[in-house]
Structure 1
C-alpha cells in the first residue's frame, strides 16, 4: 500500500555541504555572480571548483579567486557557447567539461552556461542558471527572425535546458520569458546578490560630485549605451561610462559624448559609485543587472529603463525612463542633478531596496536548489 509522506518526513535530511563544480566566464556579470557565490559557499564549508570558459581571467580576477579559501580555479581554455565558431566547438566544450566532472567527482554541476548540459554526459545532478539567452536578447534588441548563427545556438540551449535537473533564473520576468521561449517549466527564481564593496566613507547625495555614472558590458547592444551617449550631448555635466567597449568576438562601440573609462576593477567601480549622485542604466534587455544592484548599495539615485525586470526589482526605488528617448532621459537626469534632496531620497530608497538582494539569500536559495537535486524528496513510500 502506498502512503503519502507526512510533513515531518518531507523535510530534507541533514547533509554535508555538496561539492560543486561551477562554470563561469571572465567577460561580464557571470564572473561576479560566480565568484561571489563561490566565496559564500566556501565560507559555509562547501568545496567549489570554478571552471572558467572563454578568455582567461584578468590578473585581478585570478587574485580575487586565489583569496577564497576552499575555491579551486581552473582556466579551461575552452570556448564559450556564445562565442564558439560552430556547433561542433560547443559540443567539444561540453564533452571536455563532462570529462572534467567525471575526473573531479562533484556532487552537483552548476552550469552558468546551460547549453552545455545536453552533450556533456554528466552522471551527477545538473543545475542550469539562466542568466541570459540569445533568443530573448534578439527579441528585445533586434526583433524579427533570428540569423542562422543565433538559431543553432538557441536550439543547443533548448536541448541544454531540457537536460538540466532544475533551472534557476534571477528574476520572475526572465523565468517567465525562458519558459515561454523554450517550452520548459518556469525556472526557480533565486535573485542575484552582491557584497557591498568598501570605498571609503559613504557620501550623502548632497555632498557628492555632479556627474552621471554607468558601468557594464558597454559593447553589448542590449545595454543601449548609445542612448546615454546621446543624452550626454544634451547635458552640461559629464557622463562617465566604465566597462569594455570591445567584445570577445571583436564587436566594438564608440562613445562620442560620454567619457569612456575602460575596464575597471571592482574597487575602482565602487569608488566611482561612492562619488556619483546618479547611476543610469538604460538597457533594452537585462534579466537582472548586477551593476544596478552595486549602485543601489552605494546609495546612488537610480535612473533605469522601463523594462519588466527592472520594474519587478526596483519599482518604488528608482526613476524609470523610455530607453528610446534621449531628450527625455537628459531632462530626467538634469532634473535629478539639480535637486540633490530628491537624489538623496532616491539613493536612500535604492539602498534600502538593495537589502532584498543580498548574498545570504542568494546562497541559501542555491543551497536549497543543490539539495533538491542531490537529496530529492520522494512523494510516496511503501508501507
Structure 2
C-alpha cells in the first residue's frame, strides 16, 4: 500500500487502558500506522502503564498521556464516564489531532469533538450479558449500555474485529449500519518454538471474567493426567474472583513469559462463551500450538478448519478433545500447521491498512457499507 500525503500528515489521538487486550491492540496499531507516517498519541485511562509497558509504547512510536481518568467499565456512576469524555475532549482541544480513535465508545456519549471520531467496538457489557447470562440487563449494565449506544451514535465510523461481533453489535444497539470489520492483527513474539518435551495444556486471559469460562477448563483439569497451566489474574475489579482448584494458576505473566510458554507448543484451550476476537488464541496460533476452542460464532469465523471445537458448557467434550490430540500426534501436528498458517492472515499490516482506510473515509465524510477490510490480506 502506497503511503499518501494524507496519511503522512495524520495525527491521531487514541484512547486505551493498560489492563487488558486493548493496550496491545493500541500499541500494535500505533506501530503499524507509523509505517504509513501516522503519528499516534495514546491517552491512557485507568491505572498507569508499568515501566515495561511504557518501553513498549516507546518502541511502537506512540506518545503516552497518562490521564488518571476512570475506565468506563469500572466507573461507579454515569457522571464519571461523562466527565472522562469531557476530559478527553479538552485534551483533544489542546493537542489538536486530525482524528480521534476511541477504544471506549462511551467516552463520546456526552463529549463533543471538532474532528472525526472513529470508534472501535472491542466488547461491551450488553453483548457480554447476552452471551453469558441472558435476560434483562441489570441496572448497573443498563446505564453503561445507554452510554455506549450514545457513543456509537456520535461516532463518524465504527470498527469491529469480526463479522460475527459486528452483527451482534448492530443487532444489540439497533444500528442502521453494521460496523466496518477490520480484523485484529498481532506481531509474532519472535521467541523460537522449542521441541516438545512433554504435553501440557495452556490457557491465558482475564481468568476472573465469567465470559472466559475458566471454570470449565478448571474442571477439565481434574480429568486429565497432563498439567493444565493458566496465565492471567484470578481476581478482577469489584471483588470478582475465580478459583483454580485443579489447574495451575501462573498469575499475570509478561508478554515475553507468555511467549516462552507458547514456544513449548502446548495444546491451547479457550472455553470462552464470549470473545469478540481473542488475541491470546492468535498468539498461540502464531507459536504453532494446536487449538481447542469453544464453538462460538467468532471462533468459528476466525479458526474454522484450523482448530477443534467443543461445547463451552461441557468439560467432557474439551477433555476428550485433549486426549485425542495427546494420543494422535499426526492430528495434533496437522492442527499446529493449520493454526500457524491461518494466523499468518491476521497481521498488524492488514489491520493497520484497514484502519487507515476507515480513517480516510471518516476524514472524507463518506459512509461506506460495512465490509470485511483485510479479509483477503
The TM tier, using the shorter chain, reads over 0.9
What is the rounded CA distance, in whole Å, between the counterparts of 1:247 and 1:63 in structure 2?
25
What is the rounded CA distance, in whole Å, between the counterparts of 2:363 and 2:324 in structure 1?
53
Aligned: 1:340 with 2:329: yes
Q: Which residue of 2 aligns with 1:197?
A: 189
Q: 1:120 to 1:198 in 2, by over 3 A?
A: same
Aligned: 1:19 with 2:28: no
Q: TM-score, normalised by structure 1?
A: 0.92
Q: Which residue of 1 aligns with 2:20?
A: 28
Write out aligned runs for 1:97-116 (5 A): 97-116=88-107
Q: Which residue of 1 aligns with 2:265?
A: 276
Cα displacement (A) at 1:235: 0.2
Structure 1 contact 171–309 (Cα < 8 Å) conserved: yes
Q: 1:160 aligns with which of 151, 173, 195?
A: 151
What is the rounded CA distance, in whole Å, between the counterparts of 1:341 and 1:274 in structure 2?
19
For the residue of structure 1 that corresponds to 2:263, the secondary structure is helix
Structure 2 contact 265–287 (Cα < 8 Å) conserved: no
Q: Which residue of 2 aligns with 1:4?
A: none
Work out which structure has the larger RCO, using CA pairs closer than 8 Å and 6 or more positions apart in sequence. 1
For the residue of structure 2 that corresponds to 1:249, the secondary structure is helix
Cα displacement (A) at 1:58: 2.4
Structure 1 contact 23–112 (Cα < 8 Å) conserved: yes
Q: 1:377 to 1:309 in 2, by over 3 A?
A: closer
For the residue of structure 2 that corresponds to 1:120, the secondary structure is coil
Structure 1 contact 20–110 (Cα < 8 Å) conserved: yes
Structure 2 contact 194–265 (Cα < 8 Å) conserved: no
Encode CA deviations 1:259-302: one digit per residue, 9 max, x unaligned: 00111111111110111331000100001000000000000000
Structure 1 contact 277–337 (Cα < 8 Å) conserved: no
Q: 1:16 to 1:170 in 2, by over 3 A?
A: closer
Q: Which residue of 2 aligns with 1:291?
A: 280
Write out aligned runs for 1:136-285 (5 A): 136-184=127-175, 185-200=177-192, 202-203=193-194, 207-285=196-274
Cα displacement (A) at 1:127: 0.2
How many pairs are equivalent?
Answer: 364
Cα displacement (A) at 1:378: 9.8
Cα displacement (A) at 1:226: 0.5
Q: Which residue of 2 aligns with 1:365?
A: 354
What is the rounded CA distance, in whole Å, between the counterparts of 1:91 and 1:289 in structure 2?
29
Q: 1:59 to 1:252 in 2, by over 3 A?
A: farther
Cα displacement (A) at 1:162: 0.3
Q: TM-score, normalised by structure 2?
A: 0.94
Structure 2 contact 185–348 (Cα < 8 Å) conserved: yes
Cα displacement (A) at 1:371: 0.7
Cα displacement (A) at 1:13: 7.9
Structure 1 contact 108–126 (Cα < 8 Å) conserved: yes
Q: Any stretches of 5+ residues in structure 2 without a counterpart? A: 369-377
